[in-house]
Structure 1
Amino acid sequence: MNDQWTRRVWPPADDAHTPGPAPGGPAPASGGAVPVAGGSASASGGAEPAPDDDLPPSAVWYGTPVEPPRRLPRWLHRLLVAGAAVAAAAAVIAAAVFVILSRGEAAPPTMVADPLAGVSYSLPSEWSEGMVAPVTGFTSVAARGDLATVMARPEVHVDPAGLAPAVRDLSDLYAKLLLHGDEVTVVDDRDVTIGGRPGHTRAVRAEYRDVVNQPAFMRVTLLTRPDGKSTVLLGLAHPDDPRSRADIETVMAGVH
């Protein structure tokens, strides 16, 4: 193979081994320096290297390689993950404590005081005290919307032996005035003692033949009073459902 096709290897050869001119080319001037690409002749006759002569060709074209960013140590990565887990757990615990404390600091139940009827009673959740018309004879009322109602009023003295007949008469009267049921069934009739006061209670369920009105529930309770008078408690629920019944029972059982 001819010498002019021989490929140079990197790094460049020393000046002493610099190949001569190609055949047929001009000869260098005597005593002069051999021109070097990218360099200039020095006063001593040698070639001054170019600034990029010490770099490989890839560095000349693409730039000096940059060291990649350092990765976090494994122990530091684990520490950060553990810290994040602890922070999340602390947030969950704080939220749970807040909910518990909020429940513990809930407002006490609403109390209804009725000095005319000689009773007071607390109300379940979603119940509120209302206003009653004087013509009804009732002196206090509480309700859960229009689903359940409890009212109280004073009554004249009733002998303990006559409590049951008096409650039966009151139940029949209020069933005719308020329920207007096509069929009224007695579901409870018994003696009671509430707040240390002897009494009697009676509950009825009214049903209707039409398809519009749902069954209704009514309870009448008559209690004696220390001053010799009596107290009438009337509970109504329409429609009749277990929660309304339970709320009425809770209100009447808490009378004192």
Structure 2
Amino acid sequence: MKKGAYAKQVVRRSELQISVELWYTIIISRISLPVKPHFSILLRFFRSLLALFVEVQYANIKRKGRSPALEHGAQQLLEQLQNNPVIAAVGNEEELLLALESDCRVIFLLMGNLLDIGDLTGRVHESGKLCVIHLDLIEGFSSKEIAVDAISRMTGAAGIISTRGALIKRAKQIGLAAVQRGFMLDSRSLASFEQQIAQSKPDFVEILPGLLPKVIAQLQARIEIPIIAGGFIHEKEDVIAALQAGALAVSASSPKIWSM
């Protein structure tokens, strides 16, 4: 939000409240004294209706004041992955240093805690890359929805990764790219994952392991959500197989994949 935007919102809300009082006064003045008692209930209802209008208008003002970067997190991520479908998944400092120097446009941050996540994300942003945080792996955050709001305010990340549907829903509500991760162990886990994403409606899904081209193809045929293949992606052939099966992108922790 731009500097001074909050102050402008307060002023506009006050102006709306004054308008309510003005309308109420005008109506009262136009009703003759003997009739006023008979209309007291109706007038109170009308005043409440106008007050509700104030709140709706104020909510619209607040929504319009949100950062464009937060409004379009999913679109930003999609555009970057269309330019380069390889995502650097980093879990330690050494991997992060290599990822920052790589050709990858997106970094999945699988490391950090409540105290250093802001600095880690800042380093990714300084390198000109998008940062998506695996919220389930960040120490110090709860599994409740408020953690999504906290990570957004503390880091300005483009999105989050999580296995939890409630966090995915909250991420979408506040404009973050929402990546839901699922582990494909057997046909039951695939069916269960489909049910989960039908409820949470993520922007992207990440399936692990990524060396399952048949599963990727099956899932891609059933859903309209972009698929990211992750886990055990170590060779160029693994990347090609996943993309040919229908994945939008692959996430890999192997630095040699990042420079393909």
TM-score (norm 1): 0.25
Say which structure, 1 or 2, has more relative contact order (CA 8 Å, 6+ apart): 2
Structure number with higher helix proportion: 2
TM-score (norm 2): 0.25
Q: Which has the larger radius of gyration?
A: 1
Structure number with higher strand proportion: 1
